[in-house]
Amino acid sequence: MAEETKVDSDAVEEHLNCIVEVMRQNEAFLRQNAEETYYEVVELINDAIDNVVLAVKKNPEDYAKYSMIFFLHHILMPFSYAIHLDMLTGNIPACFMELRLMLESLVKCYLADFQYQDQSFFQDKLKLLEEERKSTSELMLELGKKLGSNFVALWGKLSQDWIHTKGIMDRVVAQVIEKSDVPSWGLVLPMYYAESDLDTIDELRNRISKFRSLLTAVMEKYQQENN
């Protein structure tokens, strides 16, 4: 029994070493071939850190009151780091999925605080927002009108292209037809990047850049309203 455990442990360690090696080589690939994307991912993490620092300066009782403080600590911070890790393992679809969650949460948490200021607990605010029975796109259009920004366009692209089965299927088929190559993320993970993945990696840069600009617009407005 002890011998079987030793074999299992060795196999696990070998697998972990393989993951680390893929991440190292993918980082080198990104720095050489997609430096702008790598920059956007790192800057997204820095945005999260900067905004959490601002939230920490608030009164302790505000942690339970504001949905946006919940968003900054428990969605923006961990999922910005998750995008970095998933990008290094070659898990590009997860990066887009995480970005969509961050965008949707940003919009809902801001509107919950704005529309239900009389509530003292952030979860109650979000429940009341859900009870309005508005679709996510309606909420994004509402906030976009208030801030003069287009949230719904980014959300639509992330949803259509990366969340639904058809979007993933169409991407795999298109790359096979156009480049005679299956996307690295469409095989097994972790996986080394190839030059045929660069268009998708650049798309990630574009989407993160747009999200960062929307995040900045929301945070500037939110700080104006809560100072």
Give the pLDDT band (50/70/90) at residue 114.
Answer: very high
| pLDDT at residue 137, rounded to an integer | 94
* pLDDT tens-digit map of 134-149: 999 999 999 999 999 9
Range in 32-46, 97-111, 160-174 the model is least confident about: 160-174
Q: What percent of the chain has pLDDT over 70?
A: 96
d(CA 27, CA 86): 11
Q: What percent of the chain has pLDDT over 90?
A: 73
User: Whole-number mean pLDDT of the chain?
Assistant: 92
- In the predicted model, is pLDDT for residue 56 greater than 80? no
- In the predicted model, is pLDDT for residue 83 greater than 80? yes
Number of domains in the chain: 1
Structural domain including 101 reads 2-226
CB 113 within 8 A of CB 67: yes
| pLDDT at residue 192, rounded to an integer | 95
**What does pTM read for this prediction?**
0.91
- In the predicted model, is pLDDT for residue 43 greater than 80? yes
d(CA 2, CA 72): 46
Give the pLDDT band (50/70/90) at residue 63.
Answer: confident
Both tokens of residue 179?
A: 């480049």
| pLDDT at residue 6, rounded to an integer | 55
- In the predicted model, is pLDDT for residue 57 greater than 70? yes
d(CA 1, CA 105): 48
Which pairs with CB-CB distance under 8 Å and at least 24 residues apart come from 28-34?
29/192, 29/193, 30/87, 30/88, 30/193, 30/201, 33/193, 33/195, 33/198, 33/201, 34/198, 34/201, 34/202, 34/205
- In the predicted model, is pLDDT for residue 47 greater than 70? yes
| pLDDT at residue 163, rounded to an integer | 87
- In the predicted model, is pLDDT for residue 4 greater than 70? no
Q: Comparing C-alpha atoms, which of 211, 199, 184 is closest to residue 89?
A: 184
